[in-house]
Structure 1
C-alpha cells in the first residue's frame, strides 16, 4: 500500500481522524506520525508544532461544517432554517466528535478569522436575518443559539439526559422551537419600538 504524501493537509486529516477515533486530546505529534506511518521528525518539515496541527484540524472541521450547514439550510427560512442549522451541527458532532470538539476551542489570539469561519458565521447570520432582527440582535441571537446547541450537544454526549424517560429528541425540538419564539419576539419588539 502506497503511503500518502506528507503535506499539511494530509497531516491535518490524519489528526482529525485520530481525534474522531480517540478523542481530541489524543492529537499529539507522535500519535499523528504513527497514524501516518512516519517518524515524528518527518512531520516538522510540514507543520510547526502541535498547536499548528490543532489549528489545522479546527480549520478542516470548520470547512466541513460550513458545507454541511450550507446544504441543510438551502431553501429554508424561519423555524425550518433554524432547525436545519441546529440539526447540521448536532449531526456533525455525532459523526465527527473529535472534529466537533476542535470547534469548541478558542482560536489562538492574533489568528485572523479563516474563510471557513467566515462562511459559518455568514450562514448563521443568514438564518437569523430571516427573523428580521437588528444587527445587534443578530449577534445576541447567534450567541444564544450557539450556547444552546453546544450545551445540548455537550450534555447529550456525556449522558446527562439518560436518567429521564422523556425523549431527548422531544427536548431538542422544544429547545429549537423556544429559540424560534424568542427570536420572533425580538423582531416584533424591534418593529414596535420603531413606530
Structure 2
C-alpha cells in the first residue's frame, strides 16, 4: 500500500481495524507499518509512539460509543433508557471487540479531558435524573451502571456464560430490569458499616 495519503486519522482507523481483527494488544507502530507496507520510522511524523497510537484508538472508540449511546437513549427514560444504554455498550463490544477493549486504556489527564469519556458520564447522569437521585448517589449509580455493563460484556466475551443455564440473554435482561429496580429504590443513606474482621 502506498505511503502517500497517510494521516493521523487514517492511521488511527487502521489501528482500530487491527484491534478488532487481532486484539488491542496487537496495536503497535510496527504492526501498523506492516499494514501499510512502510517502515515504522515513516509513521513517526504522524504518530509519536505505540502509546500515542493506542490512546488515539481509545479516544476514537469512546467517541463512537458516546454517539451510539446518545442515539440509543434519545427519547427514552428510566427502564427503557437503562436498557438502551446497556444494549449500546454490548452491541458495540460485539461489533468492535478490539475498540471496546481500547476504552479501558488509561489516558493521560489531558487526553482524558479531551476525550468523549465525560460525555459517557454526562449521558448516564442524564438517564439517572429520571430516578431523582442526589448528586452523591448519582455518582455511585453511574459507577454501578458502567461496572455492571463492562463486567457482563467482558465475562460474556471470555465465554464465562457459555456452559450453563439459563442463557446469557436471559440473564442480561434480568440484570437490566434489576438495575432499574435498584435505581428506583436507591437507599438514601449508606448501609451501616459491618464489623471489622
Report the TM-score when normalising by structure 1. Answer: 0.91
User: Taking structure 1 as reference, are residues 115 and 27 closer, same or farther at Cα in structure 2, changes over 3 Å only?
Assistant: closer
1:116 aligns with 2:134: no
Which whole-Å CA distance do the structure 2 matches of 1:121 and 1:150 have between them? Answer: 14
Q: Which ranges in structure 1 are unaligned for 5 or more consecutive residues?
A: 191-195
1:64 aligns with 2:59: no
Q: Which ranges in structure 2 are unaligned for 5 or more consecutive residues?
A: 190-197
Structure 1 residues 65-90: Cα deviation after superposition (integer angstroms, max 9, x where no partner): 01100110000000000000000000
Partner of 2:193: none
1:87 aligns with 2:84: no
Report the TM-score when normalising by structure 2. Answer: 0.90
User: Taking structure 1 as reference, are residues 133 and 90 closer, same or farther at Cα in structure 2, changes over 3 Å only?
Assistant: same
Report the 3-state secondary structure (helix = DSSP H, G, I; strand = E; otherwise coil) of the residue aligned with 1:186: coil
Kept in 2, the 8 Å contact 1:4–1:10? The answer is: no
Structure 1 residues 67-123: Cα deviation after superposition (integer angstroms, max 9, x where no partner): 100110000000000000000000000000000001123223564412422222211
Deviation at 1:3, TM superposition (A): 6.0
Kept in 2, the 8 Å contact 1:72–1:84? The answer is: yes
1:8 aligns with 2:8: yes
Partner of 2:74: 74
Q: How many residues align?
A: 189
Kept in 2, the 8 Å contact 1:73–1:84? The answer is: yes
Partner of 1:54: 54
Query: RMSD of aligned C-alpha atoms?
Result: 1.7
Partner of 1:32: 32
Deviation at 1:24, TM superposition (A): 0.5
